[in-house]
């Protein structure tokens, strides 16, 4: 035997066993270290559920109340733990209900494996009951997908699925398994996948590019870092901090980069993008070297590309070659995992402080504080603001909570004002903007980090998109804290209508149910706050609770989120009011 | 940026869903695939897609980046017409009596360098391989006499420069 064959033999499980395809799937999951999955049973996936019943001491299955909830829970679990989230559903509608979660995981690079049942092979293409071409449907929203029609394919495909989901730039993988392949037997051995010849997950860093980047950084007068989720996915938080501290370069983050660096770090200057901070946006157009790390220049970050950082040289640290020059042209591209490339960069950069340049950020912050922030977090008007609720949560949780947000005004406010000490603490739907994400994602986040406080902050609109997942929180007593910031509107759309559609509030006003009673219906401890005087106590009670807790805060109905870069405008034209 | 013809060559594993994935990348950007050909390549078990688009270089480059990202794609390239040797094939089905009644038909066959593939009682079939404009010229010449059926293949192309696919695959084997 040559060494390669020997190595392969070692990777194999101890012995070959004769099992059904359904049981093989369980063994694959266990071999991948999975102990928790989310899903919903149905006809075409029943053989696997039958095995889940037998293996319930080793593998916990959480029944979400909708398949979409299963995907978001798996995402929340993956984002907080760094592990692959797993969701399972039956064929047809079960499978199609996964699509939103797949798309969300695809655009936010979340490692997830979805397993769907499919009609038996002999019925494929016959419009059988609950047959749908989920491989065709999910192709544009998956990193990879595959339909298994023979039991013998299961070990290899499952191993490949986990490898592809987690490696390189992570993403969702869907494996569709026909019912006959679940019933049929195979000789099962498992070998973890260590490579696919047509797939290079992590480009090898080019030392020359890193040297060129260091030279450019060392020569810069006004260098500026914008980091994204690539830092978190690459577990490069320490390397980022070391680079920032040595070089003295102010660093801002994209919404998905939030929590990769302590929000109170003196060099952390805040958030870029449409509702980001004033300085980080305006000074993008004044820096001389823009250092992008693990981010993809999304349109919500850049505003109008024709007026974005045109004066600056751009250095782009990125794992995915397809992102280079996609939106913003890079003068130097440094391909590779951020952990590796930043580590190589560190010894080459000079120690610096950039005092005058950093003072620019302080000045801009003061302007923003005086015009926006103070009113948001220490309001003097009668109505409650979203910002002061976030501030109370910061205080009560000591900046240690995992904050899970939905989509809209509350999300922007939470990302602007939430404080973090620890990475992987900001879980939100960034790229896709999926309303309904937060409640199930918070369940997954809590289960992925039971020792941590998990606070879901949700608007009254998004809350009602996946509200049925309260059933999971009740049934399994998942101690998440749910805060609904209720303004009786679809707030962000209403804001746009006010600013750009002459206040024609088309379908953004909502008559809401009694959310406290709904939570009570699920036997979840709950409280409603309508007065400022009650807020501090309620938030403290919520954080202190050992059980799940629901808090509704009635906030001002027509508050707007500022600063704001109007759609298609330049980052320089950010509005403070 | 100026638009021109680009030939995109994709080397990939032979996988049933891949065509769908690749065509989706063009669809998403509203770029029309002018021609598409899938065949085996010079490497065993490696397929080759040859796709022709009319676009700017910037788009061609971005599309190739997105294609290369797909798990089963080993490598993708884009080339201009000047970088490649390329051909298309066409078949013309013509009524047999024309071959005898119309003297000009024989001249067209000779001048176009086409081949007679088959002759039956009612029809004969001409095959022509060449550049698009040569096939178009032959089509125009035959059209007045009546073409019973016409079909043209997608472009097939090889590059003037070497494509280092083999070394990419070897690198993987040695890992």
**Which tokens is A231 given?**
């830092």
pLDDT for residue B174: 66
What number of CA atoms fall less than 13 Å from residue A479's CA on the CB side? 12
Task: Kindly state the DSSP code that residue B124 receives in the 8-state scheme.
Answer: E
Residue A11: pLDDT above 80?
no
**Which tokens is B170 given?**
């070897």
pLDDT single digits (tens) A543-574: 999 999 999 999 999 999 999 999 999 999 99
pLDDT single digits (tens) A319-378: 999 999 999 999 999 999 999 999 999 999 999 999 999 999 999 999 999 999 999 999
> What is the CA angle A421-A426-A428, rounded to 5?
170
CB within 8 Å: B24 and A139: yes
CB within 8 Å: A195 and B62: no
Task: Kindly state the DSSP code that residue B130 receives in the 8-state scheme.
Answer: E
Beta strand spans in A48-164 (E): 60-63, 85-89, 112-118, 144-148
Sign of CA dihedral A97, A99, A100, A106: positive
d(CA A126, CA A398): 58
For the ranges A141-150, A186-195, A233-242, B11-20, the lowest mean pLDDT is seen at B11-20
Q: What are phi and psi of B28, to 5 degrees?
A: -55, -30
Chain B residues whose beta carbon lies within 8 Å of the beta carbon of residue A140: 21, 24, 28
Q: Count other Cβ atoms within 10 Å, centred on residue A109.
A: 25
Closest CA to A427 of A451, A469, A455, A400: A455
Q: What is the CA radius of gyration of chain B?
A: 20
CB within 8 Å: B28 and A322: no
pLDDT single digits (tens) A417-437: 999 999 999 999 999 999 999
**Residue B167 distance to chain A (closest CA, Å):** 12
Please say if A32 is a catalytic residue: no
d(CA A134, CA A10): 35
Please say if A129 is a catalytic residue: yes
d(CA A269, CA A555): 28
Tell which of B71, B74, B78, B175 to mutate to test the A interface (max A CBs under 10 Å). B71
B12 close contact with A: CB closer than 8 A: yes
The four Cα atoms A439, A440, A445, A446 give a dihedral, to 10 degrees, of 80
Q: Count other Cβ atoms within 10 Å, centred on residue B161.
A: 9
Per-residue confidence at B167, pLDDT binned at 50, 70, 90?
A: confident
Mean pLDDT of chain A: 96
The pLDDT > 70 percentage for chain A reads: 98
Q: Say which residues have a Cβ less than 8 Å from residue A456's Cβ, sequence separation at least 6.
A: A404, A405, A406, A438, A439, A441, A442, A480, A481, A482, A483
Please say if A67 is a catalytic residue: yes
Q: What are phi and psi of B162, to 5 degrees?
A: -75, 150
Per-residue confidence at B1, pLDDT binned at 50, 70, 90?
A: confident
Q: Which residues pair with A227 in a beta bridge?
A: A253, A293
CB within 8 Å: A199 and B71: yes
- What ipTM did this prediction achieve? 0.90
User: Which of A164, A197, A325 comes nearest B172 by C-beta?
Assistant: A197
Determine the average pLDDT of the residues in A199-209: 96
Q: Say which residues have a Cβ less than 8 Å from residue A308's Cβ, sequence separation at least 6.
A: A284, A285, A297, A302, A328, A570, A571
Taking CA atoms, A266 is separated from A223, A262, A360, A371, B127, in Å, by 16, 9, 13, 21, 74
Residue with the two structure tokens 């029609």: A149
What number of CA atoms fall less than 13 Å from residue A92's CA on the CB side? 14
Question: Omega into A563 within 30° of 0, i.e. cis?
Answer: yes
d(CA B55, CA B159): 19
**Residue A187 distance to chain B (closest CA, Å):** 24
**Residue B10 distance to chain A (closest CA, Å):** 12
pLDDT for residue B166: 77
Per-residue confidence at A305, pLDDT binned at 50, 70, 90?
A: very high
Q: Count other Cβ atoms within 10 Å, centred on residue B43.
A: 14
- Flag whether the pTM goes above 0.80: yes
């Amino acid at each position: 035997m040559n060494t390669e064959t020997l190595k392969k033999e070692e990777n194999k499980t101890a012995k070959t066993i004769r099992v059904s395809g359904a049981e093989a799937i369980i063994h694959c999951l266990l071999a991948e270290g999975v102990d928790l999955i989310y899903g919903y049973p149905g006809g075409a996936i029943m053989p696997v559920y039958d095995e889940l019943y037998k293996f319930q001491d080793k593998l916990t299955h959480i029944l979400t109340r909708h398949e979409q909830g299963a995907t978001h829970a798996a995402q929340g679990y993956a984002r907080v733990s760094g592990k692959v989230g797993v969701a399972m559903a039956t064929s047809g509608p079960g499978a199609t209900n996964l699509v939103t979660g797949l798309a969300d995981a695809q655009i936010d690079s979340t490692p997830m494996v979805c397993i769907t049942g499919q009609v038996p092979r002999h019925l494929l293409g016959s419009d059988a009951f609950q047959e749908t071409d989920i491989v065709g449907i999910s192709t544009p929203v998956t990193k990879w997908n595959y339909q298994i029609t023979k039991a013998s394919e299961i070990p290899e495909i499952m191993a490949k699925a986990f490898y592809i989901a987690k490696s390189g730039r992570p993403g969702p993988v869907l494996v569709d398994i026909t019912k006959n392949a679940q019933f049929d037997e195979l000789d099962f051995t498992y070998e973890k996948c260590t490579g696919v010849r047509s797939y290079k997950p992590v480009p090898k860093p080019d030392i020359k590019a890193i040297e060129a980047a260091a030279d450019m950084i060392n020569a810069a007068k006004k260098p500026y870092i914008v980091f994204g989720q690539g830092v978190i996915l690459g577990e490069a938080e320490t390397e980022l901090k070391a680079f920032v501290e040595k070089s003295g370069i102010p660093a801002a983050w994209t919404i998905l980069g939030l929590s990769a660096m302590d929000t109170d770090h003196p060099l952390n200057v805040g958030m870029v993008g449409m509702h980001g901070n004033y300085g980080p946006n305006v000074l993008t157009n004044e820096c001389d070297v823009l250092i992008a790390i693990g981010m993809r220049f999304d349109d919500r970050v850049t505003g109008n590309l024709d007026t974005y950082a045109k004066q600056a040289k751009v250095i782009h640290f990125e794992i995915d070659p397809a992102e280079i020059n996609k939106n913003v042209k890079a003068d130097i591209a440094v391909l590779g995992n951020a952990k590796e490339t930043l580590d190589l960069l560190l010894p080459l950069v000079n120690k610096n402080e950039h005092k005058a340049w950093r003072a620019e950020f302080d000045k801009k912050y003061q302007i923003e504080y005086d015009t926006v922030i103070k009113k948001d977090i220490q309001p003097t008007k009668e109505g409650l603001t979203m910002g002061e609720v976030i501030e109370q949560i910061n205080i009560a949780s000591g900046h240690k909570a995992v904050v899970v947000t939905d989509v809209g005004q509350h999300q922007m406010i939470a990302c602007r004002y939430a404080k973090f000490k620890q990475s992987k603490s900001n879980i939100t739907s960034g790229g896709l903007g999926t309303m309904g994400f937060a409640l199930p994602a918070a369940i997954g986040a809590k289960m992925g980090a039971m020792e941590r406080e998990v606070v879901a902050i949700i608007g009254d609109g998004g809350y009602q998109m996946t509200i049925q997942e309260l059933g999971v929180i009740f049934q399994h007593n998942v101690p998440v804290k749910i805060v609904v910031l209720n303004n009786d509107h679809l707030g962000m759309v209403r804001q746009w209508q006010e600013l750009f559609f002459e206040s024609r509030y088309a379908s953004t006003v909502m008559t809401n149910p009694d959310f406290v009673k709904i939570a009570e219906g699920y036997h979840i401890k709950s409280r409603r706050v309508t007065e400022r005087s009650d807020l501090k106590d309620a938030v403290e009670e919520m954080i202190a609770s050992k059980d799940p807790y629901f808090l509704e805060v009635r906030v001002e109905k027509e508050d707007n989120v500022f600063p704001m870069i109007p759609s298609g405008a330049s980052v320089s034209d950010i509005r403070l009011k | 940026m100026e638009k021109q013809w680009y030939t995109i060559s994709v080397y990939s594993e032979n996988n049933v869903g891949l065509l769908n994935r690749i065509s989706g990348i063009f669809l998403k950007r509203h770029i029309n695939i002018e021609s598409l050909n899938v065949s085996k390549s010079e490497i065993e078990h490696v397929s080759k897609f040859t796709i022709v688009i009319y676009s700017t270089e910037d788009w061609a480059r971005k599309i190739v980046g997105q294609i290369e990202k797909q798990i089963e794609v080993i490598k993708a390239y884009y080339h201009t017409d000047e970088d490649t040797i390329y051909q298309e094939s066409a078949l013309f089905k013509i009524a047999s009596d024309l071959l005898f009644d119309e003297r000009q038909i024989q001249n067209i066959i000779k001048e176009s360098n086409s081949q007679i593939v088959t002759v039956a009682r009612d029809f004969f079939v001409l095959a022509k391989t060449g550049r698009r404009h040569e096939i178009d010229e032959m089509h125009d010449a035959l059209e007045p006499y009546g073409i019973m059926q016409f079909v043209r293949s997608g472009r097939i192309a090889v590059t003037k420069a070497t494509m280092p696919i083999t070394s990419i695959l070897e690198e993987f084997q040695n890992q």
